Amino acid sequence: MSDPVRAVLGQVLAVAIAIALGALVILAVGESPVRVFRVLFLGAFGDATKIAGTLLQTTPILVCGIAACISLRAGLFNIGVEGQLFMGGFAAAWIGFGFSLPPVFHVLLGLAVAALAGLAWIAIPAFFRARYGANEVVSTILSNYVAVLLTSYLTIFLFKRPGGWSETPPIHESAYLPAIFDFSRLNWGIVIGLALAVGVWFYFRATPRGYAITTMGSNPKFAEYGGIDIRRQGFAVLLVSGAVGGLAGGIEALGVHRRFMEGFAPGFGFDGVIAALLANGHPLGTIVTALFFGALRNGSLLLEVDTNASREIITVIQALIILAVSAQILMRRRADSTAGERRWKF
Amino acid sequence: MSAWTRRFAALCGASLMMLGSAAAQDKVSVAAISGYFAQGFGVSIVNGLNKAKDDFGIDLKLIDTGNRALDYEEQFANAAKDGQYDLIFVMGWELADALQKAAAAYPNQRFVFIDGVLDSDKIIYANFSEEQGSYLAGTLAGLMAEKGSAIAKMGDGKAIGFVGGRDIPVIRNFLKGYEAGSKDAAPDVRVDAVFAGTFDDPAKGSELTLALYEQGADVVFNVAGPTGEGVMQASAAADKYSIGVDIDMCATAPGNVVASMLKRGDVAVYTLVKEEVEGKKVTPGVRTFDLASGGVELKMCDDVAANIPAEIKDKVEAARKAVIDGTVKIGEAQ
């Protein structure tokens, strides 16, 4: 079997095992798995609104997934996508409600500032990684908590809309990232996400620098020997990854919520990282896995209403997928350990 | 044998009648949407709904929203789309935006927003007169401070404290009632009020409470959500008194909690469901649950009540009656 086919089969097997175990959990809570999966499917793809809803859920997972893919390619692990998303979301909302600008320019500026905010947020972990070799997994995870609390502080103490829930004022209409259909909040963010996925795939496949980064990801010693400055490239890769994470927040703020509030978009950064892992760090594969998670999420909303199973069953299935995928990665690393110096194999 | 057949026949008859009546009057069906069914006030709502389910045999569906703002609008749409629920109860300010959109999109669906009033006039609001319950809390605390060290664990600071969560209108409304109650009952007692600025920081709640005790306050009223857990802990640590809020908190610091100002979410939802079952359709508008209707109350803790002189208890009871019959007016929120 060729390598890519094996990789895809491995992931499909991981998902199948997770779903089978999920079915056991559903049985244990006294529901019929067939019925639950049927409602789940109807909730995700039952009609046009449901499909749009699925794509709406897919958007942040996809963009966060691309952010994760970029770092995984270089053998680096940006688990701070969540924090970058919060920073980007707040920054975009701030541009949206704080400034009056002409329509198209306003949106573009909002998204650009969101990306900048994400980039700024990963700059410190990226610097310590490049300069001192500090483990970026730990530093990016930790920066998530700071981002969530910092944006919450900014929202509550500096920019709170008078009265009501802790949220900023709504953004100006000129900053709206427009909806695609009038029956859903689905917006052009999904198109941005798809374009990013294709662009990133093309970049890694067809440009010299993309090749250098891929080489560095699969074997840093070899890359260094070949004349690649892995510190510098790693620094740049993390910055770009963070910028995409920030962009994900900008899309949510300008396209969906049109304001920033406490509990803005919890968990999407992590969902994105999982989607990227499940796709073996492949940008086009991430489109498929993000859609899968988006469908699970959106389907679970109908599940909660129409069956006696809790929507949390989806969280269980997702967790099982993570377990199955990480088991696989570990097995491959072991088989691989004599072959090279890879930190992660992607 | 004949006795058994008769019993059997009676049972069959009864069940047939029940079937018949159920079919005739169409079972009332109720849903509740929230992300906080497992916490304090949410538990109270769930208890009220379950009681209504047991008493009236309604259909009840609890819909957990989780904490992702992206999901809320779809959740409301899924719940309202078939019109299968007569009433949908909604709890949590984070749902306000999605709720108002759903109320506009599904004009025939009746939503009940619990504990607050929004802009939309299509919604039923279950609002609580927290100032009335707080008035009694202020009366009790004020009278205790006036007695001072005659009561165990009290000092002679002639002051009482208040720890609020965020400085928002509803918390101000608690404070207004508390101050009014204390002032009417014990004019010489000072009320020290502080706001934690957050509902999610027990450590800060504890710190502020200890500071209030330092300043001479001997009873502190906790109106701070999860931040208030720190208030209760501090009262146990300093061995001073506290007053709980929303639910019965006597057990959180036994011997130190004097009373709890209950906001009876269960009474509110039960009352509304009962009206619905009795065929009185609940219509949009603000419904207020106060002392008179049992929507708010001051519940003394048995273990501490023994230390409190009977005259104080009598005065609190008199204040309760005065608020109910309207002799005492606490005014609107500022």
Nearest chain B CA: its distance from A345 CA (Å): 32
Does B139 lie in the same domain as B259?
A: yes
Nearest to B139, CA basis, from B320, B330, B327: B320
> Can you tell me the mean pLDDT for A13-36?
89
Of B70, B73, B93, the CB nearest to A164: B93
pLDDT of residue A339: 47
In this structure, are strands B296-300 and B257-263 parallel, antiparallel, or unpaired?
Answer: antiparallel
* Residue listed under structure tokens 């404070």: B175
Regarding whether B259 and B273 lie in a shared domain, the answer is: no
Strand partners, B110: B87
Q: Do A156 and B94 touch (CB under 8 A)?
A: no
Instruction: Confirm or reject contact between B79 and chain A (CB < 8 A).
Output: yes
Find the mean pLDDT for residues B212-238: 93
Q: Does residue B8 lie within any of the structural domains?
A: no
Q: How confident is the model at residue A63 (pLDDT cuts 50, 70, 90)?
A: very high
Residues B56 and B87 in one domain: yes
Min Cα distance B168 → chain A (Å) is 7
pLDDT recorded at residue B14: 46
In a domain, B6, yes or no: no
- Asked whether residue A345 carries a pLDDT value surpassing 50, the answer given is no
Output the average pLDDT for chain B: 88
Helix axes A81-98, A268-278, angle to 10 degrees: 130
Give pLDDT, residue A293: 94
Nearest CA-CA partner of A167 in A267, A93, A81, A109: A93
Domains in chain B: how many in total? Answer: 2
Question: In B, which residues are within 8 Å of A302 by CB distance?
Answer: 78
User: In Å, how far is A342's CA from the nearest CA of chain B?
Assistant: 36
pLDDT for res A334: 65
Q: What is the model's pLDDT at position A56?
A: 96
Residue B258 lies in a domain: yes
Residue B161 domain-assigned (yes or no): yes
Over A163-199, what HEC string results?
CCCCECCCCCHHHCCCECCCCCCCECHHHHHHHHHHH
- For residue B332, being part of any structural domain is answered with no
Mutate which: B62, B64, B70, vs A, most A CBs within 10 A: B70
Q: Backbone phi, then psi, for B34, in 5-degree steps?
A: -170, 160
CB count within 10 Å of CB A12 equals 11
* Predicted confidence (pLDDT) per residue in B276-300, tens digit: 999 888 999 999 999 999 999 999 9
> For chain A, what is the mean pLDDT?
90
User: In terms of domains, do B115 and B241 share one?
Assistant: no
CB contact under 8 A, A265 and B70: yes
Query: Given an 8 Å threshold on Cβ–Cβ distance, is B63 in contact with A305?
Result: yes
Q: Are B140 and B252 in a shared domain? A: yes
Contact A310, A302 (CB under 8 A): no
Query: Once rounded to an integer, what is the mean pLDDT over residues A30-50?
Result: 92
Residue B74 lies in a domain: yes
Interchain contact, B94 vs A261, CB within 8 Å: yes
What does the pLDDT look like over A93-115, one tens digit per residue? Answer: 999 999 999 999 999 999 999 99
Look at residue A71 and tell me whether its pLDDT is greater than 90: yes
Reading the block at residue B139, the tokens are: 């009366």
CB A236 within 8 A of CB A74: no
Least confident of A61-65, A122-126, A161-165, B68-72: A161-165
Q: Widest CA span of chain B, in angstroms?
A: 79
User: Helix, strand, coil proportions of chain A in percent (round to 5)?
Assistant: 75, 0, 25
What pLDDT does residue B258 have?
95
Residues B158 and B243 in one domain: yes
Cβ–Cβ contacts within 10 Å for residue B17, how many?
10
Res. B15 pLDDT band, cuts 50 70 90: very low
Nearest Cα residue to A272 out of A293, A257, A255: A293
The yes-or-no verdict on residue A333 having pLDDT over 70 is: no
* pLDDT band, very low/low/confident/very high, at A45 (cuts 50, 70, 90): very high
Q: Give the DSSP letter string of A122-177.
A: HHHHHHHHHHH---HHHHHHHHHHHHHHHHHHIIIIISPPSSSSSBPPPPPGGG--
Q: Does the structure show a pLDDT above 90 at B181?
A: yes
d(CA A204, CA A183): 37
- Nearest C-alpha of chain B: how many angstroms from A68? 21
Any bridge partners for residue B241, and if so which? B219
pLDDT of residue A5: 80
| Distance between A119 CA and the closest CA of chain B, angstroms | 24
Instruction: Assess whether B194 and B90 both reside in one domain.
Output: no
Instruction: With CB atoms and an 8 Å threshold, state whether A261 touches B67.
Output: no
B183 and B305 inside one domain: yes
B83 touches chain A (CB under 8 A): no
CATH number, position B208: 3.40.50.2300
Which tens digits make up the pLDDT trace of B98-146?
A: 999 999 999 999 999 998 888 889 999 999 999 999 999 999 999 999 9
Which of the four pLDDT bands, split at 50, 70 and 90, describes residue B334? very low
In this predicted structure, what is the pLDDT of residue B236?
Answer: 94
Q: Are residues B143 and B41 located together in one domain of the fold?
A: no
Q: Looking at residue A301, what is its pLDDT?
A: 92
pLDDT score, position B72: 92
Tell me which chain B residues have a C-beta less than 8 angstroms from the C-beta of A266: 67-68
**Residue B78 falls within a domain, yes or no?**
yes
* Pairwise pLDDT comparison (B15 vs A213), residue with the higher score: A213
Question: How many other CB atoms are found less than 10 A from the CB of residue A125?
Answer: 26
pLDDT at B324 (0 to 100): 93
pTM score: 0.81
Please give the pLDDT value at position A2.
63
Task: Based on the fold, state whether residues B168 and B207 are members of the same structural domain.
Answer: yes
Beta bridge partners of B163: B194, B222
Is the CB of A263 less than 8 angstroms away from the CB of B69?
yes
The shortest CB-CB distance from A310 to any of B31, B64, B68 is to B64
Residue A294: is its pLDDT beyond 80? Answer: yes
3-class secondary structure, A314: helix
Q: Could B69 and A261 be called an inter-chain contact, meaning their C-beta atoms sit closer than 8 Å?
A: yes
pLDDT number for residue A250:
97
Percent of chain A beyond pLDDT 90?
64
- Confidence at residue A307, expressed as pLDDT on a 0 to 100 scale: 86
pLDDT computed for residue A43 by the predictor:
93
pLDDT at B22 over 60: no
B33 touches chain A (CB under 8 A): no
Q: Residue B124 in 3-state DSSP?
A: strand
User: Is residue B21 in a domain?
Assistant: no
> pLDDT class for B6, splitting at 50, 70, 90?
low
Inter-chain CB pairs, A–B, below 8 Å: 63
DSSP 8-state class, residue A261:
B
- Where in the sequence is the domain holding B277, given as residue range(s)? 26-122+266-289
Bigger pLDDT: A271 vs B12: A271
Same domain, B109 and B240: no
Tell me, what's the pLDDT at B134? 96
Secondary structure (3-state) at B256 = coil
Is A305 in contact with B79 (Cβ distance < 8 A)? yes
B93 and B49 within one domain? yes
What SS3 class is residue B241?
A: strand
Cβ atoms of residues B166 and B160 within 8 Å:
no
Least confidently predicted of A1-10, A41-50, A147-156: A1-10
Query: pLDDT tens digits for B301-332?
Result: 999 988 899 999 999 999 999 999 988 888 65
- Chain A residue numbers with beta carbons less than 8 Å from the beta carbon of B96 are 164-165
What is the distance in angstroms between the Cα of A46 and the nearest Cα belonging to chain B? 12
| Distance in angstroms (rounded) separating the CA atoms of residues B159 and B8 | 68
B78: chain A residues, CB-CB within 8 Å: 43, 301-302, 304-306
Mean pLDDT for the stretch of residues B170-181: 93
